[in-house]
Amino acid sequence: MSNQTDFLNRRLHSLLGVIPVGFFLLEHFYTNYFATQGKEAFEGAVNFLWGIPILRFLEIFLIFIPLIYHAFYGLYIVFRAKNNVSQFGTFRNYMFVIQRVTGVITLIFILWHLWQIWFQTFLDPTPTANELATETANILSNNITAILYGIGVISAVFHFCNGMWSFLVSWGVTVGPRAQLVSTWVWIVAFVVLSYFGISSIVAFHDPNFANNVSALQ
């Protein structure tokens, strides 16, 4: 692969990790967080989402195709990756390595999650939000599954937040050590907040009383 082709592919990979894949991650966390308010609140959020026109088209062409490219070109980067302490410094080198590791974990988690939930829903000609809520709660009622989901969520959040730091550097938004230091702390806070949202949703689905929780939207 020529240097220019590699450069363009990396730029596209970086951009797709933010738009639309990153936006989809944020939307997914936002929708799932309604589970903390009860089953009815979650169903309401899902029904609103499913009410979007041409949703399947948007899912396939604006989410999953970009996600596939980002994931598999990311694997290509992982296999070519080399640590560079002299360029990035010790902390950034660790972030570089963890970014690659969490990318692989996130890919495995997404494929598993899609198979368990999205693909089954996609095959159902008339899925309901109630069925989705019940199936998700059944899946996450298992302690081991809930823990593995937690690992997957934290990996996805780290990969997104650290990827955003790198995106801002590579696209010339944060130029200079001070800007990059501020960006580091911004994305550390974002990592904590998003992890809280993700883990809270898992805990809510895992709760045996999930279906009986009072909806804050009532």
pLDDT digits (tens, 9 = 90+) for 178-189: 999 999 999 999
Residue 23 contacts residue 194 (beta carbons within 8 Å): no
Whether residue 149 lies inside any domain: the answer is yes
**Per residue in 3-54, pLDDT tens?**
778 888 888 999 999 988 999 999 999 999 999 999 999 999 999 998 999 8
Whether residue 217 lies inside any domain: the answer is no
Spatial separation of the C-alpha atoms in residues 156 and 198, rounded to whole Å:
10
Q: Which residue has better confidence, 126 or 209?
A: 209
Whether residue 61 lies inside any domain: the answer is yes
Mean pLDDT over 144-164 rounds to 97
Q: Containing domain of residue 96, as a range?
A: 3-209
Give a three-class secondary structure readout of 56-116. Answer: HHHHHHHHHHHHHHHHHHHHHHHHHCCCCHHHHHHHHHHHHHHHHHHHHHHHHHHHHHHHH
Whether residue 112 lies inside any domain: the answer is yes
Residue 2 contacts residue 179 (beta carbons within 8 Å): no
**Domains of the chain: total:** 1
Task: Check pLDDT > 60 for residue 216.
Answer: no
Whether residue 214 lies inside any domain: the answer is no
pLDDT value for 82: 63
Q: Enter the pTM of the model.
A: 0.89
CATH code where residue 43 lies: 1.20.1300.10
Spatial separation of the C-alpha atoms in residues 132 and 129, rounded to whole Å:
5
pLDDT value for 154: 98
